[in-house]
Amino acid sequence: MSKLSKIILAIGLLSILATAVSALEIDEPQYNPNVIHPGDDVDVWIDVANDEGSDEIIEDLRISVESNYPFEVKQVNPTKGVYEISQLNEGESDTAYFKLRINDDASSRDYRLDVTVSYDIVEYDGDDRQVISKSYTKIYYIPVYGLANFEINSDGVTLTPAKTENVQIKVTNKGTGTAKEATLTIGSNNLINPIDTTKFYLGSLSPDITKLLSLNLHASGDATEGSYLIPATLSWIDSDGTENSEVINIGFIVEGDINLGISNVITDPTEIKAQETYVKIDVDLTNNGHGEAKNIEIDLLSEYPFKDSWSNSNFKNIGTLTSGDTKTATFYIDVDKDAEAKHYAVPLNITYMDIFDEEHSEMEYIDLYIKPKPVLEILPETYTLKAGDENTITLTLQNTGSEKAQSVKITAIKNTAQPFEYTQKTDSIGTLDTNETGEGQLIIDVDSDAANKEYLITVEVRSVGDSEEGDDNVYISQKTIRVNVEGGSNSTLVYLVVLLLVGGLGYYMYLKRKKDKVTEKTE
């Protein structure tokens, strides 16, 4: 396109624009309130005038606005968002009226408002009526000033009576406008007071911005457990230049510290040894803190060499402990026979709830000492006895315990259902150190008609503890040994033999009698 053509086109466009501007005069929108905030209902007026000239008439004038964010057009005209004027003669004016609702979440800025105008220009040349239709959109910008709105959160901070604690609070601008030159002043009540710094300069806080503050608070020793409010004064300047100040109460929780501890442990028997059963353990639990602990549950966690004496015997609920209170929980355990003599830390899992129904858990330990003791075992062996004979068997005993065994003795326990008599049913072995072995003998007289099979004989093993260690306890246990009897009668076989003999003898007598009768008849 040539330079001349561009100039002609520009002049034509300017001419059209000049005609449009002179055709209808539209003033800038006027609104109330003058300072608009989110959530406001705003009255809007737009003045229009017929500035066509030459007796031209404007007809079917239609002015409309649209509901674009953050504006919502309210119903005030017959057609929502549309103001209609049937006719404007030359030099006449009118005012289009609208009502807009500003979105509650609108932030501070200028928002675009589109105003669309359409109308007909009517001109008469004699009786000839000429109509020119025009339509265009004018763009305006309306300022909206967001408002700051603050939230102060202590995030569940807890204070302890008679203590000064450093706590953190969060100040968040939850509003839609920026707060400038913001300051926060911490107040007090009769039980909670700020220490050191009480006024904090926050500066500028845009929407959704959080400032973290650290302050020292002291709770009086007279403060009981519960929730408390202390006042804080927040001052700032809003986006529209308005100075604001608000008192916001900050909530804090005063909670007495709960300090549960084991104050005493008593066992029955006092001296615990391997292979003990139903050992009773009384544990005293004391609350050494200021707060109240409720629904206290104690679970003794049995680990080798211990086990529960019965199901759920070691899970206890002792209820509530206020400050200084003590309660006793009783547990029962069995000790493994191979338990090593030493100190054991037995865990107690303790759970409880504070006055705010929050659950807490901690682990405590009690010390249990397994004292040494002798443990005597008969080394496994199968013994052979001859029926009808006096048999001597030698038993080998080993001290598998953790203490010397003195005065070790074995005794066979007679079972009347067995075909045995004991010529010597008791034998003394003496002293056995740990892991040492010794021998004892039993002399058994076996009935001649004893069946050939295996028998189980019960042997009592008795010993005394190590007197040098102050252990004068007597330890008794029963063991079982296996013996096989050989060379005895087999009752089934005997019965068969006897039966055959009797049957054979009867048959012989029958034949003999029959023969004697035949002989007599012959004679």
Q: What is the pLDDT, as a whole number, of residue 284?
A: 96
Tokens of 431: 């002293």
DSSP string, 111-166: EEEEEEEEEEEEEEETTEEEEEEEEEEEEEEEEE-----EEEE-TT-EE-TTEEEE
Who contacts 309 (Cβ-Cβ below 8 Å, separation ≥6)?
277, 278, 279, 332, 333, 334
* Residue range of the domain that includes 399: 376-486
Residues 433, 360 share a domain: no
**513 lies in some domain:** yes
CATH of the domain at 293: 2.60.40.10
- The segments of the chain whose pLDDT lies below 70 read 1-23, 52-54, 488-499, 502-504, 506-508, 510, 512, 514-523
> Rounded to an integer, what is the distance from CA 505 to the centroid of its chain?
92
Q: What is the pLDDT, as a whole number, of residue 19?
A: 44
Residues 448, 429 share a domain: yes
Euclidean distance between CA atoms 303 and 366, whole angstroms: 13
Q: Are 481 and 457 in contact (CB under 8 A)?
A: yes
Residues 514, 500 share a domain: yes
**363 lies in some domain:** yes
Q: What is the pLDDT, as a whole number, of residue 15?
A: 45
Domain limit, last residue, from 341, 371, 401: 371
Q: Provide the mean pLDDT of the chain.
A: 88
Domain limit, last residue, from 144, 176, 208: 144
Residues 386, 446 share a domain: yes
**329 lies in some domain:** yes
Supply the DSSP symbol for 56: -
Instruction: Identify the CA nearest to 102 among candidates 172, 150, 173, 37.
Output: 37
Q: What is the pLDDT, as a whole number, of residue 470?
A: 85
**203 lies in some domain:** yes
Q: Are 454 and 480 in contact (CB under 8 A)?
A: no
Residues 102, 188 share a domain: no
**54 lies in some domain:** yes
Q: What is the pLDDT, as a whole number, of residue 491?
A: 45
Residues 241, 276 share a domain: no
Supply the DSSP symbol for 447: P
Residues 133, 56 share a domain: yes
Domain count, the chain: 5
Q: What is the pLDDT, as a whole number, of residue 90?
A: 87
Indicate the pTM of the whole model.
0.51
Written as one letter, the residue type at 136 is Y
Residues 382, 315 share a domain: no
Residues 214, 286 share a domain: no
